[in-house]
Structure 1
Amino acid sequence: MPKTFTIALLSILLSIAPIRAAGPRVVVYPAPAGEILPTDYEVRVENLKVDVYGARTLDPPFADKQWDFGGPYSFANFDMAGPVTVRIVSKRSLRNVVIRPQSSGIVPTLEDDHTMTLTLDRPRKLSIEPDGKRGPLLLFANPLETKAPKSNDENVIYYGPGVHRPEKIVVASGQTLYLAGGAVVKAEVLVQGSDIRICGRGILDGSEWEWRKGPVGNLIAIRNSRDVEIDGITLRGSSHWTIVARNSRHVTVRNVKLCNSRVQNDDGINPCNSQDVLITDCFIRSDDDCVAMKGLDFAGANSNVERITVENSILWCDRARIFLLGHESRAAFMRDITLRNLDIIHFTMTPFLFEPGEDMRLENVTVEDIRMVGEGQREFIRLRPVVNQYMRKKVPGFIRNIRFRNITIEGQPGEYLVQIEGADEEHNVRDVTFENISINGQRLTRESERMRIGRHAENVHFHPEP
């Protein structure tokens, strides 16, 4: 083989292969040719360059309306083990930079007005905000990838580094869809079957479709399936609801990063008529609800939404709610739900909106260990059975046994109202507990000006009592 050809081939292979620091402590994945990268930030980890991708906000027909999401933003992924140093150069001044979530305890060191370094002790998901919502950098430090499937495995749908346009991918029982680091796959995914994995460090990209025009209807649609795991990938620019588990069992979404807010109705993760769903260690930025649980039309044996856990995650909603439970309520029960150890770094509408209808029983919900950044919003919590335009059976639902515990809002002054009200004597709200809720340093009590306890609300308790 000619020497010049060998050198050229080696150069090509190095340009697409993951780059590892000695150890290995860090793995970075070069962006593929054809991906247009923004230039707002430069990122290096242990002196290795980390390519920075872009995400859009407010495509037409939503552009130039009353909303302002701060314009396009940037995101970057790398893998790490052990403490690492990250160096960031920004075109924006970093003098007033805020790193969210602040619970991370990450304190930057400024080298100059446009350069800073961070030390990460472990994998983290951070929003680097030189100017609030305007053009932040979302920095995703992942754990080192293990057990990556082989590209020649007959049960693996494999996308290596590069830009791919399959448009629609169907994943069936026993299969794994793998998106390697450095892969940008422009497709929507339909999952149907059991024992299915979607994993890797690549990007699943829906940003080439207009609003609601994707070939599947969701960026990842999980239908009539069980034992499904989504792990490690980044999703960008969904054209409608993003990850939807419908009539499915035992679904895990782990270390998944959602970079949305390109269109309306881009809900982050929607468990619909599903049971045993775990959402853990995720970052969700969306225009619409971050997590919406729904009881849609259903003809199977169990339509309930049950045993749903959202934990250890960072949530950002530009226009709608963080959690919406009950607006589409055509299930008998929505119950045994746990929302815990969460950082809500930006929100707009009522972040906890629980409004069941159609005789659905919303019960046994625990919300605990939540840290929130307030920007002067009017509402914080609303518990109210309702009838709305999404409901077929025009009657309210029921709310039972709801617990809010160890929640703080820190930030700008605001009303942050807590509203509890039943619809009538039958469709009431009952057994609600508030324990250790603090809003800008003030403990929430029954006598707080923020509390609005209306009719048909029974057994509302506060701990500790004054």
Structure 2
Amino acid sequence: MKWMIFSFVVVILARSTYGEVVVYPAPPDERLSDDYNVSVAGQSVPVYTARTLDPPFAGKQWDYGGPYSFANFDTDEAVEVRITSPRNLANTVIRPTYPDVTMRVVNEHEVIISLPGPRKISVEPEGKRGPLLLFANPPEKDRPKPDDPNVVYFGPGVHKPEKIVLGSQQTLYLAGGAVVKGGVLAQGDHIRIMGRGILDGSDWEWRKGPTPTVISIRGSDVEVSGITVRGASHWTIVPVHSQRVTIRNVKICGGRVQNDDGINPCNSQDVLITDCFIRSDDDCVAMKGLEFVEGNNNVERVRVENCILWCDRARIFLLGHESRAPFMRDITLTNLDIIHFSMTPFLFEPGEDMRLENVVVDNVRIHGEGQAELIRLRPVVNQYMRKKTPGFVSNVTFRNVTVYGAPGPYRVQLHGADAEHNVKDVTFENVVILGERLDKESNRLEIGNHVEAVKFQ
């Protein structure tokens, strides 16, 4: 394919550092948050804004909290972060909770948070209403050179390229302090999308962005790392028919429209999602088997690890809807913090004779607010399916899963569709809901017909 390189004046970022702390100044024409002022190691950190539901979705029963704020800086050492606000900070809560992250309330309008190094946290004076998402990133490595002919480089400032097309061996770099309004088509092999800047979809109406998804990937050996994605107008990051894709230290500040799924591996294999923060209105991570091409159409060997997840309206993990692939298998979801959710966070509902198998959910901490459901394993037929048959669920393990917070049902549901399309070989090991270990006698457990070999440990 023809490479597309943008020509513009490159602004070299003058980084202000104190020890190993790096702060990136905001573009002068970017409107920053009125809710928070943040400083670290004596430096002012720009605080950006993001929106939750735009019209026509605003004001509905799933409208949670309105606009919110986020801030990025880099560090490889322990730091103190000073936050001031015209809002009352006296009852501020940090999510998720870490034993090595502490907060001191100085007064009603000032708090100091101690971080041991890189961390992603949500600072919440009033729960979901207008939090500050604070992203302390590890230091950047391997920054590309602006004049490299294989690099599409955006320096500090606001840029409006709309559609960015990348081919094999190319790198897209968004420098700290860059706000790039557009979408990305990455088609080829050995592609990188990286930096500390913001890829911004906020200017487009629902489903009317310049690219089918904010970052559309179709290739192999692709990495997306370090950037923040704000205000998606549709699905956010989508590898389709791709192999060996890594999504690392990406911060998704969504929630502006419906259908803004965070990361959706579709018909792809060997996908790693690691050290990410996702806030979305729709599903945080949805795995799907959509269109068919020659070769492997399965969703296989997907690993989601060390992430913080927040979904305003839909599911944290959706596996199986729009599942025309023969298999979705070898899925690992591990060391995760779910800090806010609404619908069933683990919804595994395969259809169209797809076999959903070999799934491990391990070491997950869930902040509950009284929700009805926690887990649902159920082959189904729904409106998204062409072949009107259910799928199969087998060999699923939930291990070391803890729900804490407000009282609520938090139901665990297992239902087969028929004798053939069943649910079997499911293990619950040390699943603890509000201090009670889930077992076969639990009143939270609902096991329907066509379910076999359920174990509790």
Same fold (TM over 0.5): yes
TM-superposed CA distance for 1:20, in Å, is 2.9
Which amino acid in the other structure matches residue 87 of structure 2? Answer: R
2:16 aligns with 20
Which amino acid in the other structure matches residue 51 of structure 1? Answer: P
1:133 to 125, 128, 134: 128
TM-superposed CA distance for 1:217, in Å, is 1.3
Report the identity percentage. 68
1:426 aligns with 420
Measured in 2, the distance between the counterparts of 1:16 and 1:157 equals 15
Q: CA RMSD in A?
A: 1.1
Which amino acid in the other structure matches residue 241 of structure 1? Answer: W
Contact 2:13 2:155 in 1 (8 A): no
1:52 to 42, 47, 57: 47
Measured in 1, the distance between the counterparts of 2:179 and 2:99 equals 29
Indicate yes or no: 2:381 matched with 1:387: yes
1:212 to 207, 211, 235: 207
1:333 aligns with 327
TM-score (norm 1): 0.95
Which amino acid in the other structure matches residue 198 of structure 2? Answer: I
Measured in 2, the distance between the counterparts of 1:55 and 1:385 equals 37
Judge which range, 296-305 or 316-325, deviates more. Answer: 296-305
Contact 2:236 2:260 in 1 (8 A): yes
Measured in 2, the distance between the counterparts of 1:16 and 1:98 equals 37
1:115 aligns with 110
Query: CA deviation digits over 1:63-114, x for unaligned, max 9?
Result: 1222221010000000001111110002211111100101354221111111
Matches within 5 A, 1:99-178: 99-103=94-98, 105-178=100-173
TM-score (norm 2): 0.97
2:353 aligns with 359
2:289 to 289, 295, 305: 295
TM-superposed CA distance for 1:163, in Å, is 0.2
TM-superposed CA distance for 1:34, in Å, is 1.3
SS in structure 2 opposite 1:193?
strand
Query: How many matched pairs?
Result: 448
Query: CA deviation digits over 1:240-271, x for unaligned, max 9?
Result: 00000000000000000000000000000000
TM-superposed CA distance for 1:300, in Å, is 2.0
Residues 302 and 234 (structure 1 numbering): CA distance in 2 closer, same or farther, change over 3 Å? same
TM-superposed CA distance for 1:17, in Å, is 2.8
Indicate yes or no: 2:59 matched with 1:31: no
1:344 to 325, 329, 338: 338
Measured in 2, the distance between the counterparts of 1:414 and 1:315 equals 20
Judge which range, 61-70 or 388-397, deviates more. Answer: 61-70
Query: CA deviation digits over 1:107-156, x for unaligned, max 9?
Result: 21111111011111110000000000000000000011111000000000
Measured in 1, the distance between the counterparts of 2:289 and 2:165 equals 24
Contact 1:340 1:367 in 2 (8 A): yes
1:447 aligns with 441
Indicate yes or no: 2:395 matched with 1:401: yes
Measured in 1, the distance between the counterparts of 2:174 and 2:432 equals 42
1:319 aligns with 313
2:243 aligns with 249
SS in structure 2 opposite 1:102?
coil
2:78 aligns with 83
2:4 aligns with none
Which amino acid in the other structure matches residue 17 of structure 1? Answer: L
Indicate yes or no: 2:188 matched with 1:193: yes
Measured in 2, the distance between the counterparts of 1:38 and 1:22 equals 24
Measured in 1, the distance between the counterparts of 2:216 and 2:64 equals 27
Which amino acid in the other structure matches residue 189 of structure 2? Answer: S
Structure 1: gaps of 5 or more residues:
1-12
Residues 393 and 104 (structure 1 numbering): CA distance in 2 closer, same or farther, change over 3 Å? farther
SS in structure 2 opposite 1:272?
coil
Residues 105 and 131 (structure 1 numbering): CA distance in 2 closer, same or farther, change over 3 Å? farther
Contact 1:50 1:76 in 2 (8 A): yes
TM-superposed CA distance for 1:22, in Å, is 3.5
Which amino acid in the other structure matches residue 377 of structure 1? Answer: Q
Measured in 2, the distance between the counterparts of 1:435 and 1:42 equals 44
Structure 2: gaps of 5 or more residues:
1-8
1:280 to 274, 281, 304: 274
Indicate yes or no: 2:47 matched with 1:72: no
Measured in 2, the distance between the counterparts of 1:17 and 1:193 equals 30
Measured in 2, the distance between the counterparts of 1:301 and 1:281 equals 31
